Chains A and B, each alone.
Chain A
Amino acid sequence: MKDKLTPQHTLGELKFSDLSPYEKGLVQKAVKGGFTRRDVLKLMAVTGVSVAAAQNLLFTGNEALAATPQKGGSIRMASNLHGPDDQLDPPLFTSTIDYTRGRAVYNGLIQHRDNLSLEGELAETFEPNADASEWNLKLRKGVVFHDGSPFTADDVIYSMNRHMGEESKSVVKSVLASIQEWKKVNSHEVQCILNTPNADLPVLLGLFQTKIVKNGTTGDGIGTGPFTMESFEPGVKSVHKRNENYWRDGPNLDALEITAITDPVARVNALIAGDVQMSTQIDPKAFRQVESAEGVTLLSTPAALQLGICALKNAEPGSNDDFVKGLQYIQDRERIVKRILKGKGTVANDTPISAAHGADHCHELPQRPFDPDQAKHYFEKSGYSSAEVFVAPVTSGIEDAVLLMQANCAKIGFDLKVTKVPTDGYWGAVWMREPINVVTWNMRPTAQSQMAIQFGPGAAWNDTYWNNERMGVLLQEVLSVTDPAVRHEMMCEMQTLIHEGSGMVIPAFSNINDGTADNVMGIPNVPTGQLGGNEWPEFVWLA
């Protein structure tokens, strides 16, 4: 981005369409390449474009990216993981490749659209009662499954009931535990009765696992989604064709191949060589290679992918608050973002909520600095002079971040042992078991669900065993609050509680880093997963 934009446009009316093709490309690349708004504004200011004009430009540039989709073409997408456990059954979806196939083949009731906004998908409308304890969903009419059978309320009741009850193996069973019952009102209207009010229910109905399958089936690839399934070989690939009877405009692509290349170097090579047009999970070590290669773009989306270090509160030494403080002050957060994440990340404040969560992020909370003296003070106060961290490469950068922490601890005379373990079997054998371990979480679409899952008292995955009563009360109450100011205040109180009291050390958030061919357009901005929250299959197009 060394080249300057022509400086004569200083008026507020500057539009994307006024730019030369070269400048258009520059702005598009900036918007698409994960520049934050601030980056672009800064760039514009430097080149003499007024802020108002730049804002306008950015906005229209963003629109231009999404506005003129072309039909046709096909894409091969490579995820980072697959295997014989690949699934077509939504309740058992656990990986990006499953989510992507789910997005291609099925629809949900409600969809996450750009910037985490919500839109009715198979549910045309979704209305709560006064205290959000009952939700009424009117379903879309005239929608058909790939085999021609019509979509009705029975399919919804069947699909949603699979997340409930003793026999349920659903991955999101506990997340949906506030649902008491699904009731059919008529063939195209259902009612969801809740145990406890939940203003965020629509968000849960947009999860990867809550896709709608045909009544009585267990995910055989017959859905109402934008693509039909031509073939599916677990651990190899799936091939999809455009659903000609789709209820919306229909996807832009004619065909789709979803596969995975597990080796990170091979995946980047395949992208650059043009064997695949989209690739998830570009490793920080390959950023420069992708950025300097012709014809491909690094798509870096700020998200709340935490690099987490869990000090269990029910075991030594994490039970000692001073020890945890010591760990928190020894985090050289700026350096982790700059050196380890190569700038594709943001500094975190020992809470799981980032600016990507929008209004629920507590920006007022003072940033905890890198302060070796404070760390030394707290370690001394805690009485510990050594500890052991178990680390597996669960997310890129976490091992290096722990090694950096070890080096900084050594400088202040604290002996931190780092034990590297394989990812294989990590979640069963190490996470939530060893006194100090590492974790990462996919970004949940709401701040409440993110905090509830990880910090709810007694929650199944409360991975530091930090049980705070006040936290539990707030998590519950915030769901029935509709006033934005009150809601933000409560969100802030919760983030402060986590920041001050939990056993979590979160030095940084990683961006979601994917790669695409330059002509791949229309990837939505949804930071809850790879490649636009895996929402891309229906919207993506080839320029």
Chain B
Amino acid sequence: MMLNMVLRRIWIGLATMVVVSVIVFIMTSILPGDVAQIVLGQSATPETLAALRAELGLDQPAYIRYFLWLGDMATGDLGTSKAGGAAISDLIGGRFGNTMLMAGLVAAISIPISVILGLWAAMHPGTWLDRTVTFGTLATISVPEFFIATLMVLILAVNLHLLPSTALLRDDMTFFELLRGLAMPIITLVIVVSAQMIRMTRAGILNVMNSPYIEMAILKGVPRQRIIVRHALFNAIGPIINVIALNLAYLVSGVVIVETIFAYPGLAKLMIDGVQTRDLPLVQACAMIFCGTYVILILIADVGSIVSNPRLRHPK
């Protein structure tokens, strides 16, 4: 039953990726200018354009280029960048590691903080602590991340000289130096993603707290903390896992603003660069990674909520 569900989800996920690749291909093709024009820029002449287009295979019709790409992709060949000529696997390799490092560190800090703060707030609804958490999260959700990032750079780097203003990495950095170098983007992202997770945890649990079986537990005299941890949390965990999964996916694909402000070489920025140079294979490769990340994370979240919920585990 479970295995069937997982297999079906994987199948749907693959189909989604193909659909996304077609959409991305069409959208990128609609944009004005092609990679040859962008690369040659202001210095493009009809002659050099033709020479470059022929070399890049841009003189072929779009659908043929798409299927050529699909064929290569199916055999694991990501192709070469049309704009710079480097192998896309090389371009992505280091950046994929960077993105995963950042996402991993942010997740490792923000998930425990969020769940604990969310639980805590739910245990003491209406107290000053709950109000502080609720107000704080609402405030950070409303403030755009570029504002938080710029403000932090101004205070921590430019004025106080505590932390570096950019996350420019060197190969010979020790782990501590690495953490220090990444501190600013990590803090920014922790603030941004935690708020939503905290609110969701709190809301999910308070929602369950209104159900009759919790009322029963309260009437039986079970302590509130025990009710939440033993009875409410497992029933609320489905939506919480889903919010965590969405935030993780965002950390992989959506952090382009933070990457730009801190000059951190990650995947999201790479995809934007690819779009700007109309570098289709590069854009496609990034799109596939992002799409795949979403598919996998949401699959895990769904499995997680089924496992944690007996009613879903044993459907009638």
Residues on A close to B: CB < 8 A? 76, 78, 83-87, 89, 92, 94, 166-174, 231, 233-237, 257, 259-263, 265-266, 269-270, 272-276, 424-425, 427-429, 431, 441, 460-461
Instruction: Report yes or no: A431 in contact with B42, Cβ–Cβ below 8 A.
Output: yes
**Complex Cα gap A276–B168 (Å):** 10
Known A-B contacts A94-B41, A275-B168; the reply to A425 vs B48 at CB < 8 A is no
Compute how far the CA of A173 lies from the CA of B43 in the bound complex, rounded to whole angstroms.
Answer: 9
Q: A84-B91, A235-B91, A259-B168 are in contact. Are A266 and B262 (CB under 8 A)?
A: yes
Q: Beyond the given A171-B48, A427-B42, could you list 4 further A-B residue pairs with CB under 8 A, ordered by the A residue number?
A: A233-B94, A265-B261, A428-B32, A461-B43
A85 with B279, Cβ < 8 A, contacts A171-B48, A429-B33 known? yes
Interface residue B89 (Cβ < 8 Å from any Cβ of A): no
Report whether A171 and B83 are in contact in the complex, using a CB–CB cutoff of 8 Å: no
Q: Are B43 and A171 in contact (CB under 8 A)?
A: yes
Known: A266-B153, A272-B158, A425-B38. A261 touches B277 (CB 8 A): no
Please measure, in the bound complex, the distance between the C-alpha atom of A95 and the C-alpha atom of B202, giving whole angstroms.
Answer: 51
Measured CA separation A49–B232 after assembly (Å) = 84
B152 smallest CB distance to A (angstroms): 10
A428 and B168 within 8 A (CB): no
Closest to B42 in A: A427
Which residue of the partner chain, among A231, A276, A427, contacts B37 with CB atoms under 8 Å? Answer: A427
A169 in complex: contacting residue of B48, B94, B164, CB < 8 Å: B48
Task: Report how far A350 CA is from B262 CA in the complex, Å.
Answer: 40
B306 partner residues in chain A, CB cutoff 8 A: none
Please indicate the chain B residues that have their CB under 8 angstroms from the CB of A174 in the complex: 45
Q: Which residues of B contact A86 (CB under 8 A)?
A: 84
- Contact check, A169 vs B55: say whether CB atoms are below 8 A apart: yes
Instruction: Indicate if the CB atoms of B166 and A85 lie closer than 8 Å.
Output: no
By the criterion CB–CB under 8 Å, are A94 and B84 in contact? no
21 A-B residue pairs with Cβ-Cβ distance under 8 Å, sorted by A, are A84-B91, A84-B270, A94-B39, A94-B43, A169-B52, A169-B55, A233-B91, A236-B265, A257-B170, A263-B260, A265-B261, A266-B260, A266-B262, A269-B154, A270-B168, A273-B153, A273-B165, A425-B33, A428-B38, A428-B44, A461-B42
- What residues on A are CB-neighbors of B45 within 8 Å? 173-174, 460-461
The one of A87, A233, A234, A263 in contact with B263, judged by C-beta atoms closer than 8 angstroms, is: A263
From B43, which residue of chain A is reached at the shortest CB distance? A171
Nearest-CB distance from A395 to chain B (Å)? Answer: 12
Give min CB distance, B164 to chain A, whole Å. Answer: 5
Whether the Cβ atoms of B274 and A84 lie closer than 8 Å is: yes
B265: chain A residues within 8 A (beta carbon): 233, 235-237
Using an 8 Å CB-CB cutoff, how does the interface string of B233-263 with A read, 1 for contact, 0 for none? Answer: 0000000000000000000000000001111
A83/B48 in contact, CB under 8 A: no
Interface residues of B in 120-164 (CB under 8 A from A): 150, 153-154, 157-158, 161, 164
A84 is contacted by which of B37, B48, B84, B171 (Cβ under 8 Å)?
A: B84
CB pair A428 B37 closer than 8 Å = yes
| Chain A proximity mask over B49-93: 1 for CB below 8 Å, otherwise 0 | 001100100000000000000000000000001011110000100
| Chain A residues positioned under 8 Å from B95 (CB to CB) | 236
CA distance A9 to B153 in the complex (A): 46
Residues of A within 8 A of B34 (CB): 428
Query: CB distance B166 to A266 under 8 Å?
Result: yes
B-side contacts of A169, CB under 8 Å: 40, 48, 51-52, 55
Considering the chains assembled together, what is the distance between the CA atoms of A269 and B148 in angstroms? 15
CB-CB nearest in chain B for A272: B158
Q: Are the CB atoms of A83 and B273 closer together than 8 Å?
A: yes
The CA of A86 and the CA of B41, in the complex, are separated in Å by 13
Alpha-carbon distance between A244 and B47 when the two chains are bound, in angstroms: 41
CB pair B91 A234 closer than 8 Å: yes
In angstroms, Cα B94 to Cα A274, docked, is: 25
Contact across chains for B165 and A266 when beta carbons are under 8 A apart: yes
Instruction: State whether A270 and B166 are in contact (beta carbons under 8 Å apart), knowing that A94-B39, A169-B52, A263-B263 are contacts in the complex.
Output: yes
B276 CB–A CB distance under 8 Å? yes
**B-side contacts of A83, CB under 8 Å:** 83-84, 273, 276-277
The 5 closest A-B pairs by CB, nearest first: A85-B83, A428-B33, A83-B273, A429-B32, A428-B37
Query: What residues of A have a CB within 8 angstroms of the CB of B55 in the complex?
Result: 169
Which residues of B lie under 8 Å from residue A76 when comparing CB positions?
A: 168
| Closest Cβ neighbor of B34 among chain A residues | A428
Closest Cβ–Cβ distance, residue A200 to chain B (whole Å): 18
Cβ-defined contact, A84 with B41, below 8 A: no
Q: Is the CB of A172 within 8 A of B43?
A: yes
Is B189 part of the binding interface, using a Cβ–Cβ cutoff of 8 Å? no
Which A residues lie within 8 Å of B161 (CB)? 273-274
Is the CB–CB distance between A92 and B32 below 8 Å? no
Known: A169-B48, A173-B47. A273 touches B42 (CB 8 A): no
- Smallest beta-carbon distance B263→chain A, Å: 4
Alpha-carbon separation in the docked complex, A399 to B86 (Å): 35
CA distance A428 to B278 in the complex (A): 12
B41 surroundings in chain A (CB, below 8 A): 94, 427
Q: Which one of B153, B157, B166 has the highest number of Cβ atoms from chain A below 10 Å of its Cβ?
A: B166
B149 smallest CB distance to A (angstroms): 9
Verify B164–A273 contact, CB threshold 8 A: yes
Chain B residue at smallest Cβ distance from A85: B83
Nearest-neighbour CB distance to chain A for B188, whole angstroms, equals: 12
Whether the Cβ atoms of B263 and A270 lie closer than 8 Å is yes
Residues A262 and B32 in contact, CB atoms below 8 Å apart: no
Contact between A84 and B83, CB atoms less than 8 A apart: yes
Check if B282 is an interface residue, CB within 8 A of chain A. yes
Q: Residue-by-residue, is B157-189 near A (CB-CB < 8 Å gives 1, otherwise 0)?
A: 110010011101011000000000000000000
Of chain A, the residue at the smallest CB distance from B149 is: A266
Residue in contact with A266 in the complex, picked from B40, B261, B273, B282, CB distance below 8 Å: B261
Tell me if B216 counts as interface (CB < 8 A to partner A). no
Distance of A271 from chain B, by nearest CB (Å): 9
B33, B38, B86: the one contacting A234 at CB < 8 Å is B86
Q: Given the complex, which residues of B lie within 8 Å of A84, measured CB to CB?
A: 81, 83-84, 86, 91, 270, 273-274, 277, 279, 282
What sequence of 0s and 1s flags, for each residue 265-301 of chain B, a beta carbon within 8 Å of any chain A beta carbon? 1000110011011010010000000000000000000
Q: Does B27 contact A (CB under 8 A)?
A: no
From A84, A231, A270, A275, name the one whose CB has the most chain B CB atoms within 10 angstroms.
Answer: A84
Q: Which residue of A lies closest to B31 (CB)?
A: A425
B42 touches A269 (CB 8 A): no
Closest partner residue, chain B, to A432 (CB atom): B42
Assess the B150–A265 pair: CB atoms within 8 A.
yes
Q: Which residues of B contact A263 (CB under 8 A)?
A: 260-261, 263
Q: How far in angstroms is the closest Cβ of chain B from A462?
A: 12
What is the chain B residue whose CB lies nearest that of A424?
Answer: B276
Residues of A within 8 A of B38 (CB): 85, 425, 427-428
Cα A76 to Cα B86 in complex, Å, equals 24
Which residues of A have CB within 8 Å of B44? 427-428
A237 with B168: CB separation less than 8 A: yes
Set of chain A residues within 8 Å of B84, measured between Cβ atoms? 83-87, 234
* Distance of A76 Cα from B181 Cα, bound (Å): 15
